[in-house]
A and B are shown apart, each in its own frame.
Chain A
Amino acid sequence: MTCQELHNYFDGDLRADTDRLSDLELAEHIATCFPCNRFVEEQRELEEHLRVVRDAAPPVPASLDNAVVANYRSFVLERSCLAKSTPLTRRISPRAALGWAAAVAFAVVVAYGGMRLFIPRPHVWVDRQGTAQQPMVPPVQRTENKETARAHKITPNAPKSHGDSGKRTDNPALLAEGDNSFPTRFQSLMYCDQISCPGAMEVIRVQLPSPVMGLTPTSARMGGAVSADILVGPDGIARGIRVVE
């Protein structure tokens, strides 16, 4: 037994370790080593002092018990009153409000995306070359590129000359014409004037089954389809139609 070993005993729980002082080995060391003897005496004395202080601890006063219980009752009462009087808007914390706002915004975005994805858009039959045979429900395809499309834009009231084999006329005289009638040979599908359909219109060529048109033109092809030019307003609504011969 060394002095360090003896000190290590006291690094543990003092109450437990003082019991071990009765061990023979420890007792022998304490008897022979003066510093350790003094150290142990000091520890015993300290433990005795602490025990006295522990025993002399004042009990919890009854007044404190009453005060704590009264505090508790007032707390419960105050909280219940507060819950009744506080409106819902004040009970929601700013953080919770932000969370809800973010959740609502996310839901709106998801709903909009879903609508865009799953609700089908109206299809128009377009003849790509004017000669190719089209399926019954072909996808939408414009007949011209951007440059030619710009050139072919016409005002709603401007007359549109008929073009053969799917080509558009760029006759300025016809475009500048300002009467209320549709361009030549176009049949009106919908009432159209300056107020109801302002802005430029486009002409697109489509293929339609001939029974839809109610006639059998000479240009009807093998599939029973007939070519037609459609006047489409800026809002995407067809305003006029003419059969291409």
Chain B
Amino acid sequence: MTDRLEGRSDAELLELSVAGEESAFLLLYERLKTSIFRYAFYMTNSKPAAEEVTQEVFISLLKDGGRYRKARGDVAAFAFGIARNFVRRLQKRERVYQGLPTDEVLEKISASQAGTEGLSAQVMRNQGIERIRTAIASLPDHYRQVIVLCDLCELSYAEAACRLACAVGTVRSRLNRARALLVQKLKQSKKPQTELPAAGTEECLI
């Protein structure tokens, strides 16, 4: 059954899925799930939120599949558009803020990843990853979109432009600025906080 559907385009699979063919839906889900989930994860910096968004995207694909127009882009772009709207709605609703993980959490992660790396190296690595994710999450929305799509989801500029419904040149310039901003943020977060803020009691001590 799946072999018969392998050669079908995403649009045809969507049509069959809406008509009630489960194998077509499963194949379409396999094709799109990773990119949608990753996109949602990087945008929200939260795994539960990414799961929620991914579920909602596929439900919406089924419900509003009839509104899809082939001339306006591929199904992946349609799904990304839905995902983007859900992420925005989620961020408005919950104001998701992910701080740096506590030491306890990091130790748990490290313990679960038994490997050749030493414990401290793993902790450092995870801290570094969280730092970068937080920096990405703190970017303005339009910059974060291009970083996530081009650098993390590894889409080409043309594909990203199609997903964001803008010109390739816009993607290029936004990506340039986004990278510069990200470098600045990473530098700032790297700086050790050696300078203590003035408490206002120095004069009293003298």
Contacts and interface: CB of A to CB of B under 8 A. Distances in A.
A46 B139 CA distance: 15
Contacts of A61: 47, 51
Contacts of B62: 72, 75
Interface of B: 17, 20, 22, 25-26, 29, 33-34, 37-38, 41-42, 47, 51, 54-55, 58-59, 62-63, 125, 128-129, 132-133, 136, 147, 150-152, 154, 156-157, 172-173, 176, 179, 182-183, 186
B37 A50 contact: no
B129 A58 contact: no
B20 A49 contact: no
A10 B55 contact: no
A43 B47 CA distance: 28
Contact of B183 (A42, A53, A65): A42
Contact of B54 (A43, A56, A68, A75): A68
A150 interface: no
Main SS of the interface on chain A?
helix
Interface string A59-77: 0110111011101110110
Contacts of B55: 64, 67-68, 71
B41 A58 contact: yes
Interface string A1-28: 0000000001111100000000000000
Contacts of A58: 41, 47
A178 to B, nearest CB: 76
Nearest to B34: A60
B145 to A, nearest CB: 15
Contact of B152 (A10, A11, A53, A67): A53
A14 B160 CA distance: 14
Interface of A: 10-14, 42-43, 45-46, 49-50, 52-54, 56-58, 60-61, 63-65, 67-69, 71-73, 75-76, 79-80
A49 B125 CA distance: 10
Contacts of B42: 53, 57
A46 B182 contact: yes
Given A58-B41, A61-B51, A72 B58 contact: yes
A53 B43 CA distance: 13
A57 B17 CA distance: 28
Contacts of A54: 151-152, 154
B38 A57 contact: yes
A61 B55 CA distance: 12
Given A57-B38, A71-B58, 8 more contacts: A13-B156, A52-B129, A54-B152, A57-B41, A61-B47, A64-B54, A65-B33, A75-B63
A108 to B, nearest CB: 32
Contact of B20 (A53, A68, A76): A76
Contacts of B47: 58, 61
Nearest to B62: A75
B102 to A, nearest CB: 18
Nearest to B187: A42
A61 B47 CA distance: 10
